[in-house]
Amino acid sequence: MDNKHHVRAFKGFETWINFLQMNLKMFKWILIASSLLSAGFTLIIISNLNDRFWQISGWCLENMWWGLINNTMKVFQPAWDIFWQELSQLLPFYLTIFFIILTAITIFTIHYFRNRSMKQEENKYIDGAKFISLDKLLKLLSEKKTSIPIADIKTPFDDETKHFFIVGRTGSGKTQTLKRVITHLQTSGSKIILYDNKGDYIPTNYNQERDIIFNPIDQRSTRWTIFNDCTSKMDIEQVICHGMIPGSGGSRDPFWANASREVFRGILYYCYRNKMHSNANIWDVLSSGASKIVKILNTIPEGRTGREMILDSSSKQTQGIMAMLLQYTAILELMATEDGGFSIRKWLHDPQPGTLFLVNHSKSKDVLKPILTLLLEMASHEVLSLPDDYERRIYFFLDEFGSLNNMSSIIELLTRARSKGASVWIGTQEIGQIEKVYGKESRQSIVNGCASKLILSIAEPETAKYFSDAIGQIEVLESGESMSMGPSDVRDGLTFTRSSKTKPLVLPSVFQQFPDMEGILKLSNYDYCKVKVPYVSYPVLNKYLEIRNDMLLENLIKKVDIYKKTVENAGDIFFDTDERINKSDKPNGRQDMSFIN
């Protein structure tokens, strides 16, 4: 064996010997003290149980005493015989009592010292973030008005409008948590806007008598026209243009998004002025080409800025702007035959309960993303315009939030909508999805805007570290022990120490090692609590997607015929446009703007 193994051997021996000596020392003193206490208790007990024995003992002792004084051994010997005879009869009973008491005292003493040792080894809380037991949290919540079930508890009613953030990898329990909340709210008759990106909710939570689906490729979808929810200049300037064409989120040059918005803005004004209010009309103009759009934008004052952006139809700038514009508005081609009377504003003001499902599909996610983001923007702005009402409730569920485009109103919704009765629930698998869309600063504002958080198992290391840092540090008085050893037994010893230490309340690795359906819950104004998400099996009632017939390849010929007719109509529109352009050059050829509020 090498020297290293010799070192390990004597260390193991010394620690074992020290452990043995300490235990023997403890048991020695415990047995001594317990024996004395047991003897005392035994004497007290037998003195009350057997008066005859004590009478005989007293008589014997008295006779023994006088026998010694008077030197009358005849008296002493019979007294001793009587005493010993009586004691030998009762001794087994007395010893039984003694050992029962000795055992009880010994066990109690060892248990006491064990608990004392555990308390000495516990870290004492000083300051910072900390955990609270589930029982204590439930006791505190019992004093509040609670409503929505989440994990093991029900949330306080007042906390609903402080918003919730739920993060967890696939299979961690995120969808189970949200589905349980949504089912509860639907049963209680609530107004819900639900973004369903993966098809988790339509099959189990959609009720055609009560709810509405918006998914332009689904035949069950409600039909909607952009101008149904357009009543003022700001609806065009801010809501529609920014909702359809997202910002850069700090990762790209904002010029391209801003320029595309200007062109889109001009097209919308042109269509509205000329009573071209259908989705097909808007798409006809969008797809007409840069040179034709330049002529169109030149006919209205709102189009001049956008016109300058694409004046040279052959330039790379124009090509880039048009590419981005068509990328985010391509959904209008699919909606060209789907005009209808639905209005999200009217739906929000309707007192009837129901759920609006904004549904995406993996095969159409990039195409549908802009229009779904736009509808959420419209809903957000409408909620923010409502009068204050702390009893009102309108719920936004945004699962897989990072799969949407940049919602410019989300931070305002989180910070200002509490008085309007809005409750926002954001779900994501990792923090990077949100940062990619919104940038670092806005991502931070979004997470901070949600006062309550449920952190489940996390797969991505950066997300685990982010929430470890977000939970914060804990300062504790930490216990420690050190062992000294030497050739002499006098030098062997164990020393206990306490020192102040600051450390993360939850290490990043803890989040990554969480089992499914377990996590950490943080409610507003309460400490962190470890919880479990109950699994509930929901019956499948609906198909996730019932695709429109005209979206099927077998109906492609019919679709081509429709497209040809659309092109012919577009030609008539642009012919009229040329006439309007000529009229606009005349002194009184400027269009009337009285329709603008």
The 10s digit of each residue's pLDDT in 520-532 is 999 998 999 999 9
Q: Quick one: residue 336, left, alpha or beta (phi over 0 = left, psi -120 to 50 = alpha)?
A: alpha
**Tens-place pLDDT, residues 349-404:** 999 999 999 999 888 888 899 999 999 999 999 999 999 999 999 999 999 999 99
Average pLDDT over residues 7-14: 63
* 151: three-class secondary structure by DSSP: coil
74, 90, 121 - which closes a domain: 121
Strand partners of residue 503: 474
Biggest CA pair distance of the chain? 156
**Tens-place pLDDT, residues 79-112:** 566 666 666 766 677 777 778 877 888 888 888 8
The rounded distance, in Å, linking the Cα atoms of 96 and 80 is 24
- Structural domains counted in the chain: 2
Q: Degrees (nearest 5) of the Cα angle 229, 407, 202? A: 75
Percent of the chain with pLDDT over 70: 76
pLDDT for 453: 97
Query: pTM to 2 decimals?
Result: 0.76
The rounded distance, in Å, linking the Cα atoms of 34 and 101 is 8
121, 139, 160 - which closes a domain: 121
Q: Does 539 reside within a domain? A: no
Q: Does 436 reside within a domain? A: no
* The two structure tokens encoding residue 311: 């004046």
* The two structure tokens encoding residue 354: 């129901």
Q: Does 86 reside within a domain? A: yes
**Tens-place pLDDT, residues 267-295:** 999 999 999 999 999 999 999 999 999 99
Mean pLDDT in the chain?
Answer: 83
* The two structure tokens encoding residue 570: 């577009």
Strand partners of residue 476: 125, 501
H or E segment and range at residue 499: strand 493-504
Q: Does 333 reside within a domain? A: yes
Range of lowest pLDDT (46-60, 245-259, 367-381, 389-403) = 46-60
Average pLDDT over residues 477-490: 62
Report phi then psi at 130, rounded to 5. -155, 165
Query: CA separation (Å) from 270 to 322, 553, 573?
Result: 17, 34, 12
Range of the domain at 284: 223-340+557-597
**Tens-place pLDDT, residues 217-229:** 999 999 999 999 9
Q: Does 361 reside within a domain? A: no
- Position with higher pLDDT, 359 vs 561: 359
* The two structure tokens encoding residue 413: 């919704």
Average pLDDT over residues 552-559: 65
**Closest by CA position to 299, among listed 594, 597, 574:** 574
| Helical spans, DSSP H, in 385-426 | 410-416
In this predicted structure, the answer to whether residue 473 has a pLDDT above a threshold of 80 is yes
pLDDT for 561: 59
Reported confidence tier of residue 562, pLDDT bands at 50, 70, 90? low
Q: Does 227 reside within a domain? A: yes
96, 121, 146 - which closes a domain: 121
* The two structure tokens encoding residue 129: 């973030």
Q: Does 113 reside within a domain? A: yes
Q: Does 487 reside within a domain? A: no
* The two structure tokens encoding residue 501: 């230490």
* The two structure tokens encoding residue 331: 């959904």
The highest-confidence range among 179-193, 480-494, 499-513, by mean pLDDT, is: 179-193
The rounded distance, in Å, linking the Cα atoms of 558 and 556 is 5
Q: Do the strands 452-455 and 518-522 form a parallel or antiparallel pair, or are they unpaired? A: antiparallel
Angle between helices 290-297 and 279-286 in degrees, nearest 10 = 110
* The two structure tokens encoding residue 57: 């003992």
Angle between helices 254-273 and 290-297 in degrees, nearest 10 = 60
H or E segment and range at residue 324: helix 316-329
Percent helix, strand, coil in the chain, to 5, is: 55, 15, 30
Percent of the chain with pLDDT over 90: 57
